[in-house]
Structure 1
């Protein structure tokens, strides 16, 4: 195991951390936003390439409207009209996407300089990131103590554990916003990635991407990934939900928890396989339908459908609608969820 730390000259308070396991797999991230900038994972020939989207110039993360690799909070997703109520009290949030509140607002956790403590053991290496979000920040109630742990193991697993506690009842659901592309070094888009999702229901969106409160059965639609399907199916679909999302997916899938893994992503050309297992009740899959086509990334220029986000989280729909697992955190209640990303190869 190896852990490398480097202070950046610009911006002066930024640090880069690289976790390396005994197999040669690497995960690189910044203390700014907890941003994962690079993941080097092996293909079927044990050739290591980058499998996430990241900027060529790290200074570009200062303006990161696509949230490449970032930690998201306090609430991942969209909150309608930037308001929610708890116990009869209404809280006005920062509106940063039209009238709505997205991913914690204009000064969310993706813009925080996190305190970082590296750790290294015989079979794992990692980082513990901590941050205190003060009462009223972004409009949210409660001072929230947040700890996020990135752990890289010799099983080629990246485990992300989210811990938090608030001194007031508040809303909280955290995630990581990495864009995955298993082709390696962005050689291809993700449209031919084959995805299996253990989910029979998806959260319906209106034409502004706000949850309606309805859960749609995936049976017979391009949202049925239970037996695997390619992401291109949603791009070419005439389903209104795909149209609303900009010809693709930007939807919260609710896990059934029947299968061995919550999500499996495969790229036949490289032979790479990514499995995702989480304690969260669902996740948002976003197929970069609206990705700016002029960004300078590590391996080339950005374009639509270049990465797929697998944002494990609770649904903000629970703040407005019944029938969803709550994202309200009681005073002094421990918040703890772990998501494990396992990088392997397709078994022939």
Structure 2
């Protein structure tokens, strides 16, 4: 199979970012920005072969310069929430930037999704990809240690996209990177409440004020959080109160094995997405805070118009010693592999 790649440049405040368009010859296209290491579009065919974008996005890549929803973002240094932006490491207290009320969210005021990354094309025999690099200085957003991070986006012939995130530090720190894309397999024809979702988790982490986990690993059985069998997203969402924005416990330990986390399907188009990752948790977010103020190609992104499935360490794990640890020490390497595979039924 022949692969194609197109590259062009965009500019913000005198800084240049590259826009990469990857094609695999099997109907799948992926657009990636070196600004924010953002995955801005994924185009996949439906059961009739019609190709449509299935990620919430902007009219043009420049729209991501002012994004406030984390569309397609690489979230880091720490994805999700840290209570009060505070944690301790080896007896030293650290105060991170607080950008979600009193809490820290997705890396702070200017997380990795607002940085310009170095980038290069990956030359592969049976795939095509882009590798991006960013050096985060000691103290950035309050985090300790200089952190060197690389992310490789690779499009394969079988209509899968693998994302490999790696990081190294010169001082003990915490790291939790993920992809924060909003999926809508209908091609934006309807919201996601009719999508069928299956999450392979027996437990989830209940939350309290500010959506911070209470520390409990609660069984999903008998609750609206039970997606062990495929259910439509909207079938029990009213019973959750404000919608889904919860971490699911795929594993209680971090064994680093690539594991199937979830399946998402849309009956109308026949599209199905399979999610694999080597992290212990996945955040399911049902787009509760989408407000309709962004409209792309005539479609307003109102509440529940996209959903996120974010593989991760558990939220607030630096303050929850019973959770798998997100600590990274000098000499060790952080690694996170995510695979989104697309098929039709």
State the TM-score, normalizing by the size of structure 2: 0.94
1:18-167 matches, cutoff 5 A:
18-167=21-170
SS in structure 1 at match of 2:211: coil
Q: How far is the alpha carbon of 1:11 from its aligned partner? A: 6.0
Matched residues in 2 for 1:3 and 1:67: separation? Answer: 25
Q: Identify which range, 11-20 or 130-139, moves more after superposition.
A: 11-20
Matched residues in 1 for 2:315 and 2:307: separation? Answer: 20
Matched residues in 1 for 2:172 and 2:271: separation? Answer: 42
Matched residues in 1 for 2:297 and 2:129: separation? Answer: 23
| Among 239, 242, 250, the residue aligned to 1:255 | 250
Query: 1:336 maps to what in 2?
Result: 335
What is the alpha-carbon root mean square deviation over aligned residues?
1.7
4+ long deviations beyond 6 Å:
257-260
- On the 8 A contact 2:279/2:336 being kept in 1, the answer is yes
Structure 1's 284 and 38: CA in aligned 2 closer, same or farther, altered over 3 A? same
Q: How far is the alpha carbon of 1:337 from its aligned partner? A: 1.5
Q: How far is the alpha carbon of 1:60 from its aligned partner? A: 2.5
Matched residues in 1 for 2:273 and 2:333: separation? Answer: 29
Query: 2:193 maps to what in 1?
Result: 191
Q: How far is the alpha carbon of 1:107 from its aligned partner? A: 1.1
Structure 1's 198 and 259: CA in aligned 2 closer, same or farther, altered over 3 A? farther
- On the 8 A contact 1:200/1:256 being kept in 2, the answer is no
SS in structure 2 at match of 1:81: helix
- On the 8 A contact 1:249/1:286 being kept in 2, the answer is yes
SS in structure 2 at match of 1:179: coil
Q: How far is the alpha carbon of 1:145 from its aligned partner? A: 0.4
Q: How far is the alpha carbon of 1:55 from its aligned partner? A: 1.0
1:168-247 matches, cutoff 5 A:
168-184=171-187, 186-237=188-239, 242-243=240-241, 246=242
Query: 2:293 maps to what in 1?
Result: 294
Q: How far is the alpha carbon of 1:298 from its aligned partner? A: 4.1
Q: How far is the alpha carbon of 1:58 from its aligned partner? A: 2.9
State the TM-score, normalizing by the size of structure 1: 0.93
Query: 2:280 maps to what in 1?
Result: 281
Residue-pair matches, total:
338
Q: How far is the alpha carbon of 1:296 from its aligned partner? A: 2.4
SS in structure 1 at match of 2:202: strand
- On the 8 A contact 1:181/1:308 being kept in 2, the answer is yes
Q: How far is the alpha carbon of 1:222 from its aligned partner? A: 1.2
Q: Identify which range, 77-86 or 311-320, moves more after superposition.
A: 311-320
Matched residues in 2 for 1:233 and 1:328: separation? Answer: 38
Q: How far is the alpha carbon of 1:299 from its aligned partner? A: 5.2
